[in-house]
Amino acid sequence: MKLSRRDFLATSSVALGTVTHALGQTPAAPAAPAPPQTSFDPLRGNVGIFSGRGGTIGMFVAPDGLVVVDTQFPDTAKIALGNLKQMSPRQIDFLINTHHHGDHTSGNAVFRPSAAKHVAHKNVPALQKTQAAAGKSEAQQAYADTTYDTTWSEKVGAETISLKYYGPGHTSGDSVVTFQNANIVHMGDLMFYQRHPRVDRPAGASIRNWIVTLESVAKEHPADTIYVAGHAKVNLPVNVTRADLLKFRDYFSGLLDYVQKGIASGRAATEIVKVATVPGFADYEGSPEGTIQAAYEELTAKG
Ligand SMILES: [Zn+2]
């Protein structure tokens, strides 16, 4: 059957809500939202990953210790906490935020009553407050009560958890979280797997130091370390290898090189961002525009 334009509009009330409204029709009642798709995958050494909506949640679940890294959004945080409670009746020893972004901290308030301590880099609470004020979500926030400057480490049962700040990268408050015995490192958003990353310059990001950070992290951990990425291209895993980490470093080097050449040849930022991908990284998901724009701003910043 061929649909007339009017039929098309009537059947597209969700996508074209304002249009149907203008035609004087009542938009169809929206269907109840499907529950979010979530999964929990054990990796090794009592560490697993919870995927739902937003940044990957890391979980350490042992008879003598519980640690949660990042909290996504309230709806998936409730599911993650439910999963955790089925696995262990313990109180969470440490709730950790890798950085302040909403897709890693909006579920904090769900986990906080079940956690003894809430840890993040010292720059995170202020960044999170600024973000909450901008989004008028102050009342829904829970902030870290334990912060650190360059390193933080605690024993949790037989495991040792360490946080390290390498300087500005994705933001200016990113922690790299190492589970020493399990030999697993949660990278937060310092690692995007085959996706163009967000570079949050207003929050103090630095691509140049992000490159150095990826290099240092790779050097400071064994060759067989499992790295957990904050985000991955759809249908790809978030647990990655040292080679993946170094490929992401090469992506940034290629990005800076591409943008630097554009600047040197006198091209405007608007022209430089108009490219399908960062050259050599066509398999990366999403638009590179925001990342290229951030690189341009970083390379042309004064001082
Ligand atoms: Zn982020």
Report the separation in Å between the CA atom of 20 and the middle of ligand 1, taken as the mean of its atom positions: 36
Whole-prediction pTM: 0.89
pLDDT tier at 28, thresholds 50, 70, 90: low
Q: Is the pLDDT of residue 24 over 60?
A: no
Residue 264 CA to residue 251 CA, distance in Å, equals: 20
Q: Is the pLDDT of residue 264 over 80?
A: yes
Supply the pLDDT for residue 27.
56
Kind and range of the H or E run holding 252: helix 242-264
Report the separation in Å between the CA atom of 199 and the middle of ligand 1, taken as the mean of its atom positions: 8
DSSP 113: G
Supply the pLDDT for residue 34.
80
Report the separation in Å between the CA atom of 224 and the middle of ligand 1, taken as the mean of its atom positions: 25
45: left (phi over 0), alpha (psi -120 to 50) or beta: left
Report the separation in Å between the CA atom of 108 and the middle of ligand 1, taken as the mean of its atom positions: 15
pLDDT tier at 300, thresholds 50, 70, 90: very high
Percent of the chain clearing pLDDT 70 (strictly above): 90
Report the separation in Å between the CA atom of 214 and the middle of ligand 1, taken as the mean of its atom positions: 16
pLDDT tens track for 55-110: 999 999 999 999 999 999 999 999 999 999 999 999 999 999 999 999 999 999 99
Report the separation in Å between the CA atom of 101 and the middle of ligand 1, taken as the mean of its atom positions: 5
Supply the pLDDT for residue 85.
96
58: left (phi over 0), alpha (psi -120 to 50) or beta: beta
Report the separation in Å between the CA atom of 280 and the middle of ligand 1, taken as the mean of its atom positions: 24
pLDDT tier at 21, thresholds 50, 70, 90: very low
